[in-house]
Amino acid sequence: MKANTMKNLYAIENQKETIASINSKVSYILIDLDFSGNSEYFREAYSIKKISSDKAFFVFDCINHSCTKGYYNLTNEIYNLIKNNEAELKGTLSCDGWQDSRRVGNNNCRARLNYLVRVIYSND
């Protein structure tokens, strides 16, 4: 199920515009992903760098491997950030998938992602 979800997401990614086409001044974007504070799931924190020619599509794996949805989506948040020439965004996102396929309709996944997005502009 999750593999299908990711495949569908890549199909969406292909249709997205590039970061540069939203804001040509963006040099690159650093995204720090931290999963501390989850009692049931664990994954080491990691960082991702996106350059201006990358697609403006920001989706990351849920750390719960049986999650029915399987991803966190920061696409709208980061789109607004670079559209408005802003430099930083920090927040928490709770996964709204289901814990696993047997618990659809009953137990939300709720695995949490703490994110920090920093945009480096070319004229900084």
φ and ψ at residue 99, rounded to 5 degrees: -55, -45
Residue 109 contacts Zn ion per CB under 5 A: yes
Question: Of the listed pieces 23-31, 50-58, 76-84, 101-109, which binds Zn ion according to CB under 5 A?
Answer: 101-109
Sheet holding 46-51, edge to edge: 46-51, 26-34, 112-121, 88-94
**Residue (of 12, 11, 6, 113) closest to 68 by Cα position:** 6
Q: Build a one-symbol-per-residue string for 1-40: x at contacts with Zn ion by CB under 5 A, - elsewhere.
A: ----------------------------------------
109 and 67 Cβ atoms separated by less than 8 Å: yes
C-beta separation of 47 from 32 below 8 A: yes
Q: Pick from 29, 79, 97, 117: which binds Zn ion (CB under 5 A)?
A: 97
Q: Which of 33, 111, 113, 117 binds Zn ion (CB under 5 A)?
A: 111
- Out of 62, 81, 113, 119, the residue judged to bind Zn ion by CB under 5 A: 62
Span from 1-9, 27-35, 43-51, 87-95 in contact with Zn ion (CB under 5 A)? 87-95
